[in-house]
A and B are shown apart, each in its own frame.
Chain A
Amino acid sequence: MTSVSMRRVDDVPDKELLARHAEGDPHAFAELVNRHRDRMWAVALRTLGDPEEAADALQDACLSAFRAAGRFRGDAAVTTWLHRIVVNACLDRLRRKSVRPATPMGDDATFDAVAPKMPDPTDAHGVSLDVHSALSQLPFEQRAALILVDMMGYSVDDAAQVLEVPPGTIKSRCARGRARLAPLLVHHRNRRDPKNVGGMEGGGMP
């Protein structure tokens, strides 16, 4: 957007952008954030549940990353590093405000933010809301692990790097998180079975 001085910025690798930023290039960091913002936003929003909290956390995270860029050691992917900062900023917010663990559902802004309305006959909106409220019932560690592994598609090892715990810990957090989510999301299984979609039961039990 503001990257007037660089041509074809999108060709520049993340690490190069970060290095340019550390050398004082005023556009490099904004470009880096711009490049990854949707995924960073998704992590923050899923982790905190509340769009306003997530927005604040993400801004905190971006500024921390901006300041800490000089300390980035090239041993992890830049996205791993960025997501670690996002997750930590979310955790900080939770600790500082001791935010209610479950997001109070019911205001439209929250609905729209966590569950973008899509022209989708399978009711992606409804699924999103369920996912959102189910996730909010998990402890932070399990939620963060599942967000990274199941939602964002990180490998267990990469998620372990983001969260700075051993891979085995990620596995057990994911397993426990899935075990807790299973009864909450079980009614969405109906969608897999074509006979049940739009059937008399109207999409499953409560």
Chain B
Amino acid sequence: MMRTGLWKWLAIPALLFAVTAHAEVFEKTLHNGLRVVVKEDHRAPVVVQEVWYHVGSMDEWTGKTGVAHALEHMMFKGTRSVPAGEFSKRIAAAGGRENAFTSYDYTAYFQQLHKSRLPLAMKLESDRMQNLLVSDQEFAKEIKVVMEERRWRTDDEPHSLLSEQLMATLFEQHPYHHPVIGWMSDLQQLSADDVRAWYRRWYRPNNAVLVVAGDVNAKEVFALAQRYYGGIPQRPVPPTQNFSEPPQLGIKRIVVKAPAELPYLIMAYHAPTLRDPAHDWQPYALEVLAGILDGNDSARLNKALVREQQLASSVGAGYDPLARGPSIFTLEGTPSEGKTVADLEAGLRAQIGKLAKDGVSEDELKRVKAQVTASEVYKRDSVFYQAMQIGQLESIGLSYRDIPLMLQKLQEVTAQQVQQVAREFFKDDNLTVAVLDPQPLSGKPRHMMQEGGSNVR
């Protein structure tokens, strides 16, 4: 079971764990608008540099889906002074690791190295912030790689396919409707010009945050940042459109057929995103609720549906309130042999109903909060993850400075609040149900699947 669901592309760690000790965080904004955030952590002589651009696939337009991610791939294909492939070679020769990732909300690049190699990483990263060359020839090869990535990640992965279809159904007007990697038909028509235009439009110091974490001195990092990034000219950032998803008008159901053995069910409810860490309360209550349903192996869903009733071979609940766009709360699972997705849906609905009716116990509440507290300590074992959190929060309109407040708010959630959000958000008009109908590898139909679940309520 996956507590946070299968939202690979939601790409945001659950708020439950979005906590850090951050007394050692320093920040500065360069004259060109680049924000620099430094987290000092002296446990090991390593450093991670991350540059987060505040642009993701949700800023794409129809017919050009996948362009944000395609550019991310092209960012390794050379500048005027660093030929294609050289970026990776130089980082590797410095003993470093590097990669990049794209989500709905942002696009980020990082390198992990011995602390003495930070200047090299900054030199290379600042160079491609302004000097990228996208050649037609390199693009023609790389877009094939992206299509292979799509086949591997989505087209041949039944659960990913189901998630993709779910998002396309759940969000009709908001751009979360489109997959981050892009629709295959768009990828086939995407051009090097599209990628170049995307780069020119969005990549600039005043649309990014630079996060450095590790065994460094903040003052020295600021000086290095000034040296390598300070000369990049500031340019106006086009406004991003504010999309919203209108209220759903009734339950939606979809079925996806794909080669697989087991059926699979996802129930997704629209849910609030954390916007105002000080005054919002529902996201915190929903986060605690997710922990009560699925925070450990004896939490409600696993205990009731896998262990006791044996309705499911796995179940999970997921909620992520950290995003630029709207959030969702998901319940998902695989029915046990002999059980149908309708049985499982009924079982999940019963759990939700019980929550709304009877609320939660103080013990359950305390347990989730203890896990939050411990996770805050464990997280400090990874410099990389600490930097990830800072970059993520900064990229979605929140701040690392909100972390202690968010932690405190989680600790203050009451049993009554948990019950209240269960009542408010788990409504049919707010729900999309997606079902994977497994097909035999031979391509011949296996059985008629029982569609829908309205008959079981």
A binds B: no
